[in-house]
Amino acid sequence: MIIKVCSILLLLGGLQKSWGQSQFTISNLSKIPQKSYANPALTPTNLEYFVGIPLLSGIHLNGNSQGFRLKDIGWTKVFDPQVDYEMARQNLSPENIYRLDSRVDLLYGGIASKTGMFTLNFSERVIGDVAFPSDLFSRLADEEQGDAMSGRRYDLSGLDGNAMHFKEFAVAYAAKNRKGWNWGLRLKFLLGHEAIFTDNNQLVLMEDSEDGLMTSGDLAMRVAGFSHFSEEESFFRLFSAKNAGVAFDAGFDYRYNKRWQFFGSIHDLGGITWRKDLNLRELPESFSGLEPEIDNTFDRLVNDRSEVTKTFRVALPTQLRGGMRYHLKNNHILSAMASTRFYHTGTDLGMSIAYFIPVAPWLDWTASYSVFNKSFSNIGTGVAFQFGIVQVYFASDNIISAFSPTSTKNFHFQSGINLVWKKPEKKRRPTANREKIKPEDVMVTGGDNEEEAISYFTLKSVFSGEEDAGQEVNAIYVDIYRYDDSGNKELIHTSRYPNNEFEVTLYKISRLHELTVKVYGFEPVVYQFFPESEGLERKFKMTADPAFWNK
């Protein structure tokens, strides 16, 4: 019985768990390709290409129920949907909202280009939301207990919702390093399988003197593809182009300076127009009981072929996201994000703060705190492991729900396995800012004996990056060499300086010297010189390493 109720209200009987706000946590795992689902402008910059393990690369379940937990209505086992109608009547609010959004990637992969990255995904998705009044379960409880009372009213005017099951074929491109601006676009082709769309006109049920029900107002349910539920047809459909649509995602990511980064995105702008395999069911003016009428409605929607030809369109719940990141030392990141999603039954708002730590070269970790669905106790976490080319990740915006989904209003779970190939590291050749002073025939200090003529000179240098792009130089590593007559060089000075400049005093010997400076996040600087007079001062502009500043 409850399977048929949920099949009508939520489209698929096996996926009636409570999914809600999503992807706060996953967007902070910088090495995971799936973070592009949170913002199409976000992709790892150090990957040459990647392939997701089919069916395992992206398992994403999320949603919420407003006002109750599954265990409040007697549903204690996730895959054993048993509902206690009397418990539901006592614990439910007058109006309740149930929202879902699930995705399983059948295929997922990407390849880098010179200016960005192309990705492709072929995914199974279920999206929907339903608003239902507590009087729905009150009537079912009364029928279960045989409690009859002529003239009793059940207000079902708030019963409303829609849901869709479809496949998504999408192609995305993310452009990188455009003067601090990165942008991404994902174009989606939607192949619809099943859908339900309700039209409620102030429906009220009234019990008559014979324990039956009469209706005031009306309720119509438009469906598409429900014949897939029949025993004669196979429910599995790899492709289904009878009902199709398009949608897109778009996003940007702006690196203001070394510390601050801003981003924003829009998701699922579009929908599906349902034209084929349509059916319509209107609630009759009177019937014997709500439970048998639900059975009858489900059977007719599945097995009857009505002459309905009027198409209907169901829009995807569009989502807006925006936020910022603050980069700390050692690649730690503090971030904040806000999210708004527009469902058929209303708007879902959420906010989150998160902290990211690269624990080891093979392990990233993030933790988050989120406020959404009028809930203030959502602690999330995410980890990403790298073992050779194998990448495994897990994330949840509400970690408690991942282990006890029936005990929380908000559920979120996301995990997957990828095979990733990094870009080959470029051999760093010390060619940036190389300069050479031609050697002179006489020693700078003059004199007949080089050792007796030795004096001193001061070498002073200042290093800087592109300030507008936030590429600051914080610490430098300095090596100074001197060449002998045979062309061999000898290290004569090495040190680390905690800022962007150094000053050192050396013997003034008229031989070729070489200064090598290394800065984290920049190409090395090599400068060749001969000692001049009492000192030598230079200012150097560092060349940034794109792989560091765009990650």
Give the length of the chain.
551
Nearest to 244, CA basis, from 220, 221, 277, 222: 277
Query: What are the CA-CA distances from residue 432 to residues 138, 435, 524 (Å)?
Result: 77, 9, 7
Q: How far is CA 32 from the centre of its chain?
A: 10
Residue 68: which of 133, 3, 116 has the closest Cα? 133
Encoding tokens for residue 151?
């003239």
Q: Determine the Cα–Cα distance for residues 331 and 464; give it in Å rounded to an integer.
A: 20
| pLDDT (0 to 100) of residue 78 | 67
| Single-letter amino acid, residue 91 | N
Q: What is the pLDDT of residues 134-154, one digit of tens each?
A: 888 888 888 888 877 777 889
Rounded to the nearest 10 degrees, what angle do helices 290-303 and 135-145 cross at?
Answer: 110
User: Three-state SS for 290?
Assistant: helix
Please tell me the predicted confidence (pLDDT) of residue 250.
Answer: 96
**359's tokens:** 């624990």
Residue pair 325/264 in contact by the 8 Å Cβ criterion:
no
SS3 519: coil
| Contact assessment for residue 73 and residue 83, using Cβ atoms and an 8 Å cutoff | yes
Residue ranges in the chain modelled with pLDDT below 50: 1-21, 428-452
What is the pLDDT at residue 124? 93
Candidates 230, 311, 330; CA nearest to 273 is 311
376 three-state secondary structure: strand
What is the per-residue pLDDT across 341-376, written as a single tens digit (0 to 9) for each?
Answer: 887 667 778 889 999 998 988 999 999 998 876 778
| The model scores a pTM over 0.85 | no
Domains detected in the chain: 2-422 (2.40.160), 455-549 (2.60.40.2190)
